[in-house]
Amino acid sequence: MTQHYLLRNLDVEGIDRIDVYEANGGYAAMKEAFKTFKPEELVAMVKKSGLRGRGGAGFPTGMKWGFLPNDGRSRYLVVNSDEAEPGTFKDRELIEENPHQLIEGIIISSYATQASEAYIYCRGEFRRGAEQLKRAVQEAYDHGYLGANILGTGFSLELKVYRGAGAYICGEESALLESLEGKRGNPRLKPPFPAVAGLYGGPTVVNNVETICNLPPLVTYGADWYTSMGTEKSPGLKIMSVSGRVQRPGNYEIPLGTPLRSLIEDYAGGLLPGRTVKAVIPGGSSVPLLMPDQLDTPLDYESIVKAGSMLGSGGCIVLDDQVCMVGATARLVKFYREESCGKCTPCREGTYWMTDVLDRLEMGMGEAHDMEILADVADNIAGKCFCPLGDASLGVLVSALKHFRHEFEAHVAEHTCPMGARLYDTVNH
């Protein structure tokens, strides 16, 4: 792609400063939105654009906004910047390198939804991200883009940056709201959904950073421009975070529908010479594996589901033929063990036992019935937890058991990891 719309930080040096941002067209979309559009026209534009939530669920953004009840209560916009899904690192780049784009998107979105208060929930580990956001928010206040009666429009918006403190579960929107209210980050029962009873019990929209960053270009170029890219059901642009065994790991802005093979080869530089793809996790650690014969799958929500996985957060981890699938699976499941909030027994105990069994398999101390134990524990988690974290822990495991059962069996038969029980490959570096 020659021109970036979301990752403009790659094209413009110093765009994290408001003067540079404005010199490159920044905040023009906000002014345009105020001048040309009524709030409901902006909501209609977002609906028409087909923009879907980029945090993982892919829910249509305009429809989400439309769920806000018209009951006169003051509304909140909460931006989810608690990015922690293994393999996903786009929101970190967006907030660290181009914070004003997000702030402009927040102002436009708040105007569209008539929210009078907005919060950015920033992952606790993002120290620089939070510092960048706080500085940029202050700059926006100083320029009169935030606060009371913005640019004489009569629209007022307060924007605050709130830091998390290390908890993946707070990326789940209701847990995030709990955390923002100064509580433990346990997910809430839904319904009621945040649109009806969210932050402080008020009507609330929770959107991902990347989703909101789409707003400035969307207002500038229009819904027709947005739908001219991507597919009919998955229009527009998506940032894919590519990591693992590729030559050029990084964030890449692609039109939805771009084939997975193109992302790996054309954008991320392909694999190391002589290596072949063993499996790809296309949308963050929670989604099932795609196999080498599925590399021509278009990266859009529907096509990936059809191929048996999900686009999720766009965190694409590429595994080559030198990666042990048992070791890789053990590492991913351990993440969910660490991050389970502990509320539900199947998730809390299940992720613990799956990690334990996977570790002993990887160390060559597994037994033949361990695969049955894993399948049984997985079955006792699936669909039996309060929030999606339990199910998320199963995506890679279940598909690895299906596609790579021979590797699990080899660990048992040989009483060792045939690949040396290490994930590091010195040749790679």
Contact set with other proteins (CB under 8 A):
83-89, 91-92, 123-128, 160, 162-168, 179-185, 200, 241-245, 249-251, 285, 315, 317, 319, 323, 328, 331-332, 335, 338-339, 341, 422-426, 428-429
- Shortest Cβ 200–other proteins spacing (Å): 5
To the nearest 10°, the Cα dihedral for 54, 55, 57, 61? -50
Nearer residue to other proteins within complex by CB, 49 or 340: 340
Helix axes 99-113, 127-142, angle to 10 degrees: 60
- Shortest Cβ 21–other proteins spacing (Å): 22
Nearer residue to other proteins within complex by CB, 208 or 231: 208
- Shortest Cβ 339–other proteins spacing (Å): 6
Nearer residue to other proteins within complex by CB, 88 or 231: 88
Q: Any idea what the Cα angle at residue 58 is, between residues 56 and 63, rounded to 5°?
A: 135
End-to-end, the C-alpha distance of the chain in Å comes to 27
Nearer residue to other proteins within complex by CB, 276 or 426: 426
Distance of CA 204 to the CA centre of its chain: 19
- Shortest Cβ 122–other proteins spacing (Å): 11
> Residue for token digits 């579960």?
169
Nearer residue to other proteins within complex by CB, 175 or 229: 175
- Shortest Cβ 46–other proteins spacing (Å): 26
Here the tokens at position 384 are: 């039996």
Q: Is the peptide bond before 191 cis (omega within 30 degrees of 0)?
A: yes
CA dist 346 → 175, 280, 286 (Å): 18, 27, 17
Helix axes 370-381, 405-414, angle to 10 degrees: 140
CB-based contacts of 134, cutoff 8 Å, min separation 6: 161
- Shortest Cβ 335–other proteins spacing (Å): 5
Nearer residue to other proteins within complex by CB, 266 or 425: 425
